[in-house]
Amino acid sequence: MANPSLLILPGDGIGPEVMAEVRKIIDWFGAKRGLVFDVSEDLVGGAAYDVHGVPLADATMAKAQEVDAVLLGAVGGPKYDKLDFSVKPERGLLRLRKEMDLYSNLRPAQCFDALADFSSLKKDIIAGLDIMIVRELTSGVYFGEPRGIFTEGNERVGINTQRYTESEIARVARSAFELARRRGNKVCSMEKANVMESGILWRDVVQEVHDKEYPDVELSHMYADNGAMQLVRWPKQFDVIVTDNLFGDVLSDCAAMLTGSLGMLPSASLGAPMANGRPKALYEPVHGSAPDIAGQGKANPIACVLSFAMALRYSFDRGEDADRLEKAVEKVLADGVRTADLMQNAGETAVTTSQMGDAIVAA
């Protein structure tokens, strides 16, 4: 059988720095676990613009469509701020998401014990927290027509349209139920069916998909405003949360920050199943290119490392190896190894990006 294939797009800023640490881990899996990937590496974002004049070359796009998974670092930076909108680094990432049709965005909020004091919330609220927000990523108010700023009488009016089809709701619901079966077997769907037609349809369709295809999974519904409150009040009541594009944007940032630093947060964006039964997939840290610390060896590589762990779990069916990698991260944190973003006490010394990567490999 052919080796599983992985396209690595380090991108800009700290992207290449954190990705170098993931390469060490990939090499470790090859040497120690017989898990050998066909890895190819290419350019995205400003790095691609510098060479090709576009933030994602057609050949790179084609490669992304063929591989089992894409792992991306980060795109953008001040050097590219003045570029025309059509060639901005971020457009490279948007093109990947759009053409791969990655409609299901997974953002875990997980609290590592060693960092339980790090959050601004009380320890008992977040200790042991492990939840997953599934955000619909390719439809809703971000794309609905009509949209624009129009003139009505003697004033302007800004219009956006929240629009969801049944099939768009059903596919992201399936993605959440599938996920729940591999976790705590519980889904909470969030919308505002009390004030929005799209919310009524959302609730209906999620319930229908549940009753027909996933009756074994526990399903509840919640208004998104209550959901926001519950997330902060007692987040451990949730396992998987599924919600639309706009509510998901807000709720996933909120959930992510329950646990601490941007440098810790991975994500996955999944699309339709491919021939091998696994979804099209792109994995990336939640953080951006962090131009303020780029090139200084200060970046925390854990978000990117955990993104690779998600790839092991969701694209390569190597859940045990994903656990192994997450446990290594846990151990390193328990041992007190800290990059600068994770420092909480004066007197602690920070390790470099590379030292953090080495410590994870050793663990």
- The catalytic site residues sit at 142, 192, 225, 249, 253
Q: Given the complex with ligand ATP, which of 259 and 300 has the nearer CB atom?
A: 300
Considering only the stretches 40-48, 63-71, 107-115, 288-296, report the one whose residues sit in contact with ligand ATP under the rule CB under 6 A.
Answer: 288-296
Which burial class, exposed, middle or buried, applies to 230 when counting CB atoms under 10 A from its CB (0-12, 13-18, 19+)? middle
102 and 136 Cβ atoms separated by less than 8 Å: no
Using rule CB under 6 A, residue 289 touches ligand ATP:
yes
Residue at token pair 């696994």: 278
Q: Does 287 bind ligand ATP (CB under 6 A)?
A: yes
Please identify, using beta-carbon distances, which residue of 92 and 288 lies nearer to ligand ATP. Answer: 288
Site map (CB under 6 A) of ligand ATP, residues 42-81, x = contact: ----------------------------------x-----
Which of ligand ATP, Mg ion, none lies near 50, with the C-beta cut-off 5 to 8 A by kind? Answer: none
Q: Which residues are annotated as a binding site for NAD(+)?
A: 77-90, 288-300
Binding to ligand ATP by CB under 6 A, coded x per residue (else -) over 319-348, reads ----------------------x-------
Q: Which tokens belong to 349?
A: 């010394």
Helices 319-334 and 302-314 meet at what angle, rounded to 10?
160
50 vs 197, which CB is nearer to ligand ATP?
Answer: 50
**How does DSSP classify residue 5?**
E
E-only strand ranges, 192-299: 218-223, 240-243, 266-273, 279-285
Could you tell me the CA-to-CA distances from 210 to 129, 140, 176, 186, 231 in Å, in that order?
25, 21, 10, 11, 23
Crossing angle of the two packed helices 353-362 and 302-314, in degrees rounded to 10: 40
Which of 267, 300, 307, 315: binder of ligand ATP (CB under 6 A)? 300
Residue 39: contacted member of ligand ATP, Mg ion, none (CB under 5 to 8 Å, by partner type): none
Q: Is 293 in the site for ligand ATP (CB under 6 A)?
A: yes
* Number of helices followed by number of strands (H, E) in the chain: 12, 12
Among 263, 266, 271, 357, binds ligand ATP (CB under 6 A): 263
Q: 96 with 60: CB under 8 angstroms?
A: no
Q: Please, what is the minimum distance in Å from the beta carbon of residue 120 to Mg ion? A: 19
Tell me which residues touch ligand ATP (CB under 6 A): 14, 76, 262-263, 287-290, 292-293, 299-300, 303, 341
